[in-house]
Amino acid sequence: MADPAKRLPLLPAERALKVISGRWKAIILYHLWDGSKRLSELGRLLPGVSQKVMIQQLREMEEHGLVNREVFRQVPPRVEYSATELGLSLEPVLLALCDWGRHHAEELDELDRVTDCRTSRRPSLLKHSSLSSGESLHRRS
Amino acid sequence: MADPAKRLPLLPAERALKVISGRWKAIILYHLWDGSKRLSELGRLLPGVSQKVMIQQLREMEEHGLVNREVFRQVPPRVEYSATELGLSLEPVLLALCDWGRHHAEELDELDRVTDCRTSRRPSLLKHSSLSSGESLHRRS
DNA sequence: GGCCATACTTACCTCTTGGTCTGTATCATA
DNA sequence: TATGATACAGACCAAGAGGTAAGTATGGCC
């Protein structure tokens, strides 16, 4: 059930893109970098994403080694999802993508249509803030 | 017909992914970094990609400001596609993706299923270096 | 026994992407 | 007049990703 059969592209760049670009994978990873999360927690963090879809994304990421799934045999089921080493190693890459994304928006005069690279986890805030410059938010150096 | 209406994602990272991840966009860009190319040239460089699809990809990239389309009013039509500043600025990003892609393959013991990050522009060479039927192209790093 | 929370699964539907195949416009040249 | 090279456009199709809505399993707790 792991990786057999359905192979990834031969070109590394395409492989990377294929692995990363699922509708919700990037944001899910952003959240998992903050620590492991239960399915229900992710659901709360990303309202608008149905449970089925969330699980789909997580499973694919698991197959690709980005995410770890840990099951606790408890009464109300408890499952924790966390980023693997591979998942963590994506941080600089996604950060680069984020920076370029803003650069792209800037060049097209659409800076008002993108969020800050760190506020990604709060897309609803963008209304007021144009681009928060105050740093903050440091994680695993 | 440029960018109105169909907006890109709010999250910069997703925006970047959306712009980059078309089936042939990455490879096309690799080639355009080497200099502008005519449609027919790209066709020769990427056999297996139909003209219609090639044009599709190029047009989308044009809309997103990655590619420039220059028409020469000549007898047998002549159109040159080249990378814009924005397109060129993607090089380090794609390189990062490529590196990570190889890293990913390495971690999953599939280094024999990816090419080198620079040979991307010559996918036709794979034939000799074996990869479909023959050995692996090993590449310690 | 019935209820509850959690984490799924399944059936089904829609829209986008990428793909094939064929048609068209241009105009120098044979 | 027919041909040929180049760059498209259009009709059509298949697969897949993502979405909705509903059902299932578990086992303490009232």
Is the residue at B122 inside a domain?
yes
Residues A67 and A104 in one domain: no
The answer to whether position A60 is within a domain reads yes
The answer to whether residue B57 is domain-embedded is yes
Identify whether residues A71 and A95 lie together within a single domain: no
> With contacts defined as CB-CB under 8 Å, which chain B residues touch A101?
11-16, 19
Contacts of B107 in chain A (CB under 8 A): 65, 85-86
Q: What is the pLDDT of residue B136?
A: 31
Average of per-residue pLDDT across A12-26: 98
Residue A40 CB lies within 7 Å of the nucleic strand C: yes
Distance from CA of A121 to the nearest CA of B (A): 9
The yes-or-no verdict on residue A138 having pLDDT over 90 is: no
pLDDT by residue (tens digit) across B65-79? 999 999 998 888 999
Q: So what's the pLDDT on residue A64?
A: 98
- Both B34 and B82 in one domain: the answer is yes
In a domain, B4, yes or no: no
pLDDT tens digit sequence for A86-106: 999 999 999 999 999 999 999
- Domains in chain A: how many in total? 2
| Residue A8, CB, strand C, below 7 Å | no
Q: What angle do CA B52, B57, B62 make, to 5 degrees?
A: 120
What was the pLDDT predicted at A89?
98
Judged by C1' against the alpha carbon of A53, the nearest nucleotide is D18
- Reported ipTM: the value is 0.85
Task: For residue range B91-116, list pLDDT tens digits in order.
Answer: 999 999 999 999 999 999 999 999 99
Contacts of A58 (CB under 8 A, 6+ apart): A28, A39, A42, A67, A69, A81
Digit-coded pLDDT (tens) for B29-88: 999 999 999 999 999 999 999 999 999 999 999 999 999 999 998 888 999 999 999 999
Tell me which residue of B87, B118, B20, B92 sits closest to A96, measured CA to CA: B92
- Whether residue A107 is contained in a domain is answered as yes
Q: Is A79 on the interface with B (CB under 8 A)?
A: no
Quick one: B31 and B84 in the same domain? yes
pLDDT at residue B140, rounded to an integer: 33
Q: Average pLDDT, stretch A106-123?
A: 80
- Domain range for A114 is 91-127
User: Is residue B24 located within the same domain as residue B78?
Assistant: yes
Top pLDDT among B57 and B128 is at B57
pLDDT band at B119 (very low <50, low <70, confident <90, very high): low
A8/B contact by beta carbon, under 8 A:
yes
Alpha carbon distance B57, A37 (integer Å): 38
Could you list the protein residues whose CB lies below 7 A from any atom in strand D? A 22-24, 49-53, 56-57, 75-77; B 38-40, 51-52, 55, 59, 69, 71, 75-79
Q: Stretch B106-127: mean pLDDT, rounded?
A: 73
**Based on the domain organization, do A23 and A68 belong to the same domain?**
yes
A67, A21: one domain: yes
Q: Is residue A1 part of a domain?
A: no
